[in-house]
Amino acid sequence: MRYTKTPLTSDQHVELLNKRGLIIDEDKAKKYLNNVGYFRLSGYMYHLQSTDGKHNFKNGTKFDDIIFHYQFDKKLRAIMLGYLERIEIALRARLTDKFSNSYGFYWYTDKSLFEDYGIFDSINDEITEHFADPQERFLKAFKNKYTSESTPPSNMALEILTLGKLSRLYRGLRNKAQKVEIADDFHLPSTILSSWFIYLTNVRNICAHHSRLWNKKVTADRPLIPKRKKYQFNGEIPIDFNTTVYGIISMTDRLLYAINPTNCFIDKIIGLIDTYPAINTKSMGFTDDWKENPAWAK
């Protein structure tokens, strides 16, 4: 099957939306279509349309309803991205501190510390390649001073790794005392923590690339949900918890609480939802009683 759709101008898109029953301010719509694009905005239309394949809008739906969800999602991604950065930095610091103090600054080049040699090779290849032509000032200064070194020490090397690489580095390490200590710092078993880091990397990428998040099912690398009472989430946990925004928020809060119990993440999430009361939290995977009995309750 070949793709036979033809491109449309913003005027033609406005005409199409009108035909599908959308109440629309044409000037405002053209502004968004020109600056945001029809394809990106279409992700905020589907839940407002019929499910018969004709894409007609439900009675009374306005263009402002689409923008309402678009703006909510934009602010949700900004909150998530800012706090996932804190988790990434905390993981990076712990990997460097705990392993460097036990095995020296070049611990990441010691293959015996890894159970996954593929990850060992991938991490070291990336660091070596990056160090061959460094762009960061701190790496250039190190390379000019320590001319006998082919790679930088851990405190510098890990700075060039993305959250995805850091997550896989953690997963690929043998279950030695230092790996367990990091898991203890985050108040989780290492196998569960590793699955969360890798899963939240996907969420971080969604946010960084400005993709839709608010009602998306994030199914790649589905994380493990703890069943032991010591680690369980509060209340009744939905079966799809490890694919929804409700689960994402709950996992993020759990990690943030471990490194900074006074953080404002949940307050900001609740404040955002309160600012956009028409948002359907069920589409985000939230339970009916989430306000009184949220999964993240301590």
Task: Supply 269's token pair.
Answer: 């999430």
- Asked if 86 and 259 count as a contact pair (C-beta separation under 8 A), the reply is yes
- Asked if 129 and 156 count as a contact pair (C-beta separation under 8 A), the reply is no
Check pLDDT > 90 for residue 258: yes
| Start-end of H helices in the chain | 10-19, 26-35, 38-42, 63-103, 117-132, 137-145, 154-157, 163-172, 177-185, 190-208, 245-259, 265-275
User: If 0-12 CB within 10 Å is exposed, 13-18 middle and 19+ buried, where does residue 298 land?
Assistant: exposed
User: If 0-12 CB within 10 Å is exposed, 13-18 middle and 19+ buried, where does residue 38 land?
Assistant: buried
Mean pLDDT of 157-163: 95
Mean pLDDT of 8-21: 94
Inter-CA distances, 78 with 139, 208, 210, 211, 212, Å = 30, 9, 9, 11, 12
> What pLDDT is stored for residue 3 in this prediction?
87
- Asked if 152 and 107 count as a contact pair (C-beta separation under 8 A), the reply is no
Q: Give tens-digit pLDDT for 25-43.
A: 999 999 999 999 999 999 9
Mean pLDDT of 223-245: 95
- Lowest-pLDDT range, 54-58, 270-274, 293-297? 54-58
Mean pLDDT of 224-238: 94
- Asked if 255 and 87 count as a contact pair (C-beta separation under 8 A), the reply is yes
Alpha carbon distance 137, 141 (integer Å): 6
Task: Indicate the pTM of the whole model.
Answer: 0.94
- Asked if 217 and 150 count as a contact pair (C-beta separation under 8 A), the reply is no
Mean pLDDT of 199-223: 96
Check pLDDT > 90 for residue 5: no
- Asked if 126 and 165 count as a contact pair (C-beta separation under 8 A), the reply is yes
Across the chain, mean pLDDT equals 96
The percent of residues in the chain predicted with pLDDT above 70, rounded, is 100
> What pLDDT is stored for residue 212 in this prediction?
96
